[in-house]
């Protein structure tokens, strides 16, 4: 897995977490369970996000933002048995020859990576 893919995956995971911490129902449940939490977890996560974004090229980051706003689920998906994990269409075999590089699914445009 290339460093760029790894950063994009980390960004995706961080964005899931930010979404959860912005959810008031979730925050309420966390409190009820007894998790002790930083005063402003979302702010902390956004700072981490900023740091992470610095490691990603602006072109890829813009692409990521575009994909996320379009699908509102995930921007980066694994290729599973030759199929895109996002739209389940077949990924051309010639792409798998260059696994280290960053690729987009020709059908849905999401970033794809090989497990």
Binding site residues, other proteins, CB under 8 A: 1, 6, 9-10, 12-14, 16-17, 20-21, 25-26, 29-30, 32-38, 41, 44-45, 48, 73-74, 76-78, 85, 115
State the Cα–Cα distance between residues 16 and 110, nearest whole angstrom. Answer: 16
Q: How far is CA 79 from CA 43, 103, 104, in A?
A: 33, 11, 11
Positive or negative CA dihedral for 17, 18, 23, 28? positive
Q: How far is the CB of 34 from other proteins (least distance, A)?
A: 4
Residue 54 interacting entry, from Zn ion, other proteins, none, C-beta within 5 to 8 Å by type: none
- How many CB atoms are closer than 10 A to CB 14? 16
Residue 59 interacting entry, from other proteins, Zn ion, none, C-beta within 5 to 8 Å by type: none
Q: Select 30 or 74, whichever has its Cβ closest to Zn ion.
A: 74
Q: How far is the CB of 76 from other proteins (least distance, A)?
A: 8
> What letter does residue 114 receive in the DSSP assignment?
E
């Amino acid at each position: 897995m290339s460093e760029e893919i790894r950063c994009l995956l980390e960004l995706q995971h961080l964005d899931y977490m930010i979404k959860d911490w912005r959810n008031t129902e979730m925050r309420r449940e966390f409190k009820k369970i007894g998790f002790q939490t930083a005063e402003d977890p979302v702010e902390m996560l956004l700072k981490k996000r900023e740091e992470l974004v610095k490691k990603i090229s602006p072109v890829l980051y813009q692409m990521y933002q575009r994909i996320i706003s379009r699908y509102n689920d995930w921007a980066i998906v694994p290729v599973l048995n030759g199929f895109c994990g996002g739209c389940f269409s077949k990924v051309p075999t010639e792409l798998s020859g260059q696994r280290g590089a960053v690729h987009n699914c020709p059908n849905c445009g999401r970033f794809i990576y090989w497990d």
